[in-house]
Amino acid sequence: MVFKHQRQRAVREMRGKIWSPGRPSVARREDRVRFWEAIAKGLASEVAAGEAGVSSAVGTRWFREAGGMPPLELNAPSGRYLSFDEREDIAILHAQKLGVREIARRVGRHPATISRELRRNASTRSAELTYRATTAQWHADRRACRPKVAKLAANDRLRDYVQDRLAGKIASPDGGVVAGPDVRFIGRRHGRRADRRWAKAWSPEQISNRLRVDFPDDESMRISHEAIYQALYIQGRGALKRELVACLRTGRALRVPRARTDQRGKKFVTPEILISERPAEVNDRAVPGHWEGDLIVGLESSAIGTLVERTTRFTLLLHLPRMEGHGVQPAVKNGPALAGHGAQAVRDAIAEAIKTLPDQLRRSLTWDQGAEMAQHAQLRIDTGLEIYFCDPHSPWQRGTNENTNG
């Protein structure tokens, strides 16, 4: 009994010397790696969270905190440090009362590594110093963190220089306004155009290159464009004002993996209905009844639709009036587009125009991958048209319609 009390007192004294790091995180490093591997495949944050075995709220938080890109510390391990699988083996062998040298021989590590692992990463929350793989991995990950103050947070002069040029507000020492770079408008669709100011702003790469010109002898006034992006996107490195993301050329609040950009909003397009599966007779233009369609969008989000027959170039115009409630009631999420050229309105307009034609002139319709054709399956049922979609960013694949619209 006396020995038990002495052991408990020794554990309490050891706890007093060790900094208490708090509670372990909800997931291990391996779970985060699986999450970002799923994100790289183009999956949504909620689906990727399911692949990693965590809740959707945790996956969404990971994505936002990292700015949409996987952290560098999650790169493939070099093998220099113990992995979680090795720590599981150590915990099992240690529970079997095997010695340090025997555990090292079975795991394939140096005995000093095993001894240090059992001593440094033991669990201190119970009355005994036990070794658990999950707790040991958490301790190792915590020690591996190397917090470093962001350069923009430590250098006020550099931060002001970057923020002024990102916001497009630049003045010379005598008070005169310095014109920013001449930026060509390329019609980005991310965010409301009226609320974005990037046409007057400098890009992070332009700012990074300009620093060498304005401060050729001051090495403290140097920063890469990637560091500027991270200061804007990644939480915890927020040396710059968050609202400055509206000044970027893309207008994105978060980075988007490339695999996701090709899949977002195009879930209704499958490989079976791409233009590569279209019959050869469509390309020959010998048989009438094959159509190409598109929208012409005008001012204040008004639009008309065009259907052009490939053989005769006969053109039908689709009337797309405003839907009831436009400009009066707010739009409903996932509801019909009240502007008149949403999926439901376009489907009804095409069906109304095509049904006036004989059956031999209703063979196929080729469209681009716009969201207005999300209800193409119902359109096929209503009209009997075979629907095909062009490849992304390939308007030349429906050249007849493009030339007619032009």
Of 234, 298, 274, the C-alpha closest to 368 is 274
| Encoded tokens for 147 | 């917090």
User: What whole-number percentage of the chain has pLDDT above 90?
Assistant: 22
* Whole-number Å distance between alpha carbons of 39 and 33: 10
Q: In 3-state terms, what secondary structure has residue 350?
A: helix
Pairing mode of beta strands 315-318, 364-367: unpaired
Q: 312 and 234 in one domain?
A: no
Q: Which residue type sits at 346?
A: V
- For residues 251 and 195, is the Cβ–Cβ distance under 8 A? no
Q: 348 and 295 in one domain?
A: yes
Q: 129 and 191 in one domain?
A: no
DSSP 264-278: TT-TT--GGGBGGGS
Among 209, 233, 256, where does a domain finish? 256
| Residue 126 resides in a domain | yes
- Name the residue range of residue 304's domain: 271-405
* Whole-number Å distance between alpha carbons of 328 and 325: 5
| Residue 244 resides in a domain | yes
Residue 206 contacts by C-beta under 8 Å, 6 or more apart in sequence?
165, 181
Q: 240 and 277 in one domain?
A: no
Mean pLDDT of 237-255: 72
pLDDT tier for residue 184 given thresholds of 50, 70 and 90: very low
- For residues 400 and 294, is the Cβ–Cβ distance under 8 A? no
C-alpha dist (Å) from residue 52 to 27, 264, 273, 356: 9, 21, 32, 53
| Residue 261 resides in a domain | no
Pairing mode of beta strands 386-389, 315-318: unpaired
**294/234: higher pLDDT:** 294
Total domains in the fold of the chain:
3
pLDDT digit string, tens, across residues 258-284: 666 555 445 778 888 889 889 888 888
Q: Find the largest Cα–Cα distance for the chain.
A: 102
Q: 171 and 239 in one domain?
A: yes
| Residue 139 resides in a domain | yes
HSE toward the beta carbon, residue 223, CA cutoff 13 A: 26
* Whole-number Å distance between alpha carbons of 366 and 16: 73
Helix (H) or strand (E) holding 138, with range, is helix 133-144
User: What whole-number percentage of the chain has pLDDT above 70?
Assistant: 75
| Residue 46 resides in a domain | yes
Of 351, 368, 363, 273, the C-alpha closest to 311 is 363
Among 78, 111, 144, where does a domain finish? 144
| Residue 264 resides in a domain | no
pLDDT digit string, tens, across residues 26-44: 577 778 888 888 888 878 8
Q: 138 and 20 in one domain?
A: yes
Q: 13 and 127 in one domain?
A: yes
- For residues 20 and 14, is the Cβ–Cβ distance under 8 A? no
Q: 91 and 28 in one domain?
A: yes
Mean pLDDT of 217-227: 90
- For residues 240 and 228, is the Cβ–Cβ distance under 8 A? yes
Q: 110 and 181 in one domain?
A: no
Among 144, 160, 181, where does a domain finish? 144
| Residue 263 resides in a domain | no
| Residue 265 resides in a domain | no
Radius of gyration of the chain (CA): 31
Q: 351 and 300 in one domain?
A: yes
SS3 content of the chain, % helix, strand, coil (to 5): 50, 10, 45
pLDDT digit string, tens, across residues 130-165: 888 888 888 887 777 766 777 888 888 998 888 888
pLDDT tier for residue 128 given thresholds of 50, 70 and 90: low
Mean pLDDT of 381-395: 89
| Encoded tokens for 22 | 């708090």
Of 127, 111, 157, the C-alpha closest to 14 is 127
Q: 171 and 52 in one domain?
A: no
